[in-house]
């Protein structure tokens, strides 16, 4: 910026002082807004990386919770099969032992299943695991973590998009810098004013874009 302003000062003798002042003001504004856009883009990129990392970690936890629920389902099915085998063969002691091995949560679903009279009611659920009362440990946690992970991923995508918008604004500001930078090399006053006018127009457009974009996160 200092170099460009210095170049304008060299040409002050052949061009209007007012134009030189306008160029200096525009360059100063470009410097400030470019710094803000670069800072904002970096902050949003960091926020996006953090959110996407959270989403990945939550998906991993959700997978572990779901695997835990599958293991519990298999254990419940094993104890139920032992109870069912004892029941159909009429071994009361084996039935009692099998029922004592039920998990408390599974016992709730088992009792609800027995109330449907499954041995005479053809419309009864096939087993306790088909009952709405059956909730294996980890299943609800898996659903919750997956939903949270999806939310964090969307937030990360949004942050990345905002960061890209700030980068595009920085590119526009670079174009302004280029136009103002070469304007002093044109001896024709009209050409210089035209370049400055285009640059100012782009600068105003960039300022509007920056004003409409969300502010960078505070964290």
Average pLDDT (165-169) is 93
pLDDT-derived band at 4 (thresholds 50, 70, 90) equals low
| Owning domain of residue 57 | 2-212
Q: How many domains, in total, are found in the chain?
A: 1
- State residue 168's pLDDT score: 92
Q: Would you say residue 217 lies in a domain?
A: no
Model confidence, pTM:
0.68
**Residue in 172, 171, 150, 153 with CA at minimum distance from that of residue 161:** 153
On whether residue 96 sits in a domain, the answer given is: yes
Residue 172 lies in a domain: yes
Distance CA 202, CA 208 (A): 10
pLDDT at 5: 47
The CA distance from 212 to 166, in Å, is: 11
Mean pLDDT of 132-158: 91
Average pLDDT over residues 130-148: 90
E strands of the chain, at which residues?
A: none
pLDDT at residue 140 above 70? yes
Within a domain: residue 218? no
State pLDDT tens for residues 79-131. Answer: 999 999 999 998 999 999 999 999 999 999 999 999 999 988 888 999 999 99
Asked whether residue 219 is domain-assigned, the answer is no
State yes or no: pLDDT of 2 exceeds 80.
Answer: no
Q: What is the DSSP letter of 130?
A: G
Percent of the chain with pLDDT over 90: 62
The pLDDT value recorded for residue 158 is 94
pLDDT at 57 over 60: yes
Look at residue 63 and tell me if it is in a domain.
yes
* pLDDT of 6 above 90: no
Mean pLDDT of the chain: 87
């Amino acid at each position: 910026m200092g170099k460009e302003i210095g170049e304008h000062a060299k040409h002050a003798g052949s061009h209007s002082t007012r134009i030189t002042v306008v160029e200096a003001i525009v360059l100063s504004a470009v410097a400030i807004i470019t710094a803000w856009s670069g800072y904002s883009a970096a902050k949003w990129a960091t926020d996006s990386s953090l959110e996407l990392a959270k989403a990945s970690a939550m998906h991993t936890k959700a997978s572990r919770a779901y695997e835990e629920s599958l293991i519990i389902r298999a254990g419940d099915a094993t104890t139920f099969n032992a109870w069912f085998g004892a029941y159909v063969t009429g071994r009361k002691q084996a039935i009692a032992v099998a029922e004592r091995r039920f998990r408390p949560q599974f016992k709730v679903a088992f009792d609800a299943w027995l109330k449907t009279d499954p041995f005479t009611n053809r419309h009864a659920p096939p087993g306790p695991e088909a009952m709405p009362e059956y909730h294996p440990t980890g299943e609800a946690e898996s659903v919750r973590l997956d939903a949270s992970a999806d939310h964090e991923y969307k937030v990360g995508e949004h942050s990345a998009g905002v960061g890209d918008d700030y980068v595009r604004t920085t590119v526009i500001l670079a174009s302004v810098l280029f136009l103002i930078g070469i304007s002093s090399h044109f001896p024709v006053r009209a050409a210089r004013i035209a370049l400055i006018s285009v640059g100012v127009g782009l600068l105003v457009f960039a300022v509007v874009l920056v004003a409409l974009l969300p502010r960078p996160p505070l964290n």
